[in-house]
């Protein structure tokens, strides 16, 4: 009876018309777009973004081992952000990021310029360019020096000095960079167009880059940003800069959420394997138990296993 109920609810999960393949070349049907066992966390991050879209910045931190699904959890939000007119920008830190402390944040803001150009009509781009001129005035060259892609919003946002200097923002004072970028974010973000900034692998980020994030989020003059940061909690110590950022945000009264992802439980893991094999869950339980023992429920390790 339970098998029949599952079949009626989701026939495509168990019925398929693929030709029978040899066992050597048989491919499992993993649902790569499906997030298993993260319903609670998905609800939390969605609720947090909904609060941001009402006009106030917020932060959401996700810890967990490599392969536990942190990035996939964040990606479930992309469609919702786009539907409400928001913009999604992302940067992934790596082992070399600390040698180029501000390049990650600047890279994300450069992405935002391209997204703004792609998602808005020419009249709206012209209106935004005018707002930037009014806000920055003679400092528009400073913005162009830090954020090279601002030129896509208006050709005049390129100065000869900016074109000659390589490295841009990294050679400038971090406080000045943070203040300039914050002014830019204040103009391009709003409740109608919130910006979601996703920084992956924060365990590689240093305090300089994270201080700029604090400047963004603690801005009390109108920024509307949803910051999402992920990190491998087994690779950070209690004195890491990411935890300092959390404390600073809380001290600045910025709503700050923290979740930690672990391995899938037995039921969710069994559902994942059931989907992959197109078999009823009851048939997969013994296999799922073996996989659980080998992988501890880590989704990436399950796929590799």
Pick the closest to residue 54 from 257, 226, 181 (CA basis).
226
The mean pLDDT of 91-115, rounded to a whole number, is 90
Asked whether the beta carbons of 226 and 57 are under 8 A apart, the reply is yes
Model pLDDT for residues 167-221, shown as the tens digit of each residue:
444 456 888 899 999 999 999 999 999 999 999 999 999 899 999 999 999 998 8
Q: Which pLDDT score is estimated for 21?
A: 52
Model pLDDT for residues 123-152, shown as the tens digit of each residue:
999 999 999 999 999 899 999 999 999 999
The mean pLDDT of 281-296, rounded to a whole number, is 91
Model pLDDT for residues 16-42, shown as the tens digit of each residue:
555 555 555 555 566 667 889 999 999
Q: Which pLDDT score is estimated for 129?
A: 96
Q: Which pLDDT score is estimated for 31?
A: 67
**225-231 β-sheet, strand order:** 87-92, 195-200, 225-231, 58-64, 256-261
Q: Which pLDDT score is estimated for 19?
A: 52
Q: Give CA–CA dist 232/148, Å, rounded.
A: 31
In percent, the amount of the chain with pLDDT more than 70 equals 86
Q: Phi-psi bin for 76: left (phi > 0), alpha (psi -120 to 50), beta?
A: alpha
Tokens of 141: 């060259």
Spatial CB neighbours of 75, under 8 Å, sequence gap ≥ 6: none
Mean pLDDT across the chain, nearest whole number?
A: 87
Q: Per-residue pLDDT for 264 more than 70? A: yes
């Amino acid at each position: 009876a339970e098998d029949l109920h599952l079949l009626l609810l989701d026939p495509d999960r168990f019925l398929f018309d693929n030709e029978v393949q040899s066992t050597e070349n048989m491919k499992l049907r993993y649902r790569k777009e499906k997030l298993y066992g993260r319903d609670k966390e998905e609800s939390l991050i969605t609720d947090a973004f909904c609060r941001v879209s009402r006009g106030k910045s917020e932060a959401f931190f996700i810890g967990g081992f490599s392969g536990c699904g942190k990035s996939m959890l964040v990606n479930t939000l992309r469609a919702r952000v786009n539907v409400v007119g928001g913009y999604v920008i992302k940067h992934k830190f790596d082992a070399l990021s600390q040698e180029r402390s501000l390049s990650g944040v600047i890279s994300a803001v450069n992405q935002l310029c391209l997204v703004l150009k792609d998602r808005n009509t020419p009249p709206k781009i012209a209106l935004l360019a005018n707002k930037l001129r009014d806000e920055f005035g003679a400092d528009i060259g400073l913005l162009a020096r830090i954020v090279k892609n601002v030129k896509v919003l208006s050709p005049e946002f390129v100065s000869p000095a900016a074109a000659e200097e390589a490295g841009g923002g990294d050679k400038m004072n971090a406080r000045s960079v943070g203040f300039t970028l914050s002014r830019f974010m204040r103009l391009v973000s709003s409740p109608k167009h919130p910006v979601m900034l996703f920084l992956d692998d924060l365990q590689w980020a240093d305090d300089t880059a994270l201080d700029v994030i604090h400047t963004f989020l603690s801005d009390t003059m109108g920024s509307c940003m949803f910051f999402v940061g992920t990190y491998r909690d087994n690779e950070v110590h209690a004195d890491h800069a990411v935890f300092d950022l959390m404390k600073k945000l809380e001290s600045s009264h910025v709503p700050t959420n923290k979740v930690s992802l672990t391995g899938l439980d037995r039921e969710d893991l069994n559902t994942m394997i059931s989907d992959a094999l197109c078999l009823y869950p009851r048939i997969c339980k013994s296999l799922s138990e073996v996989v659980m023992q080998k992988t501890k429920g880590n989704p990436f390790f399950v796929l590799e296993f």
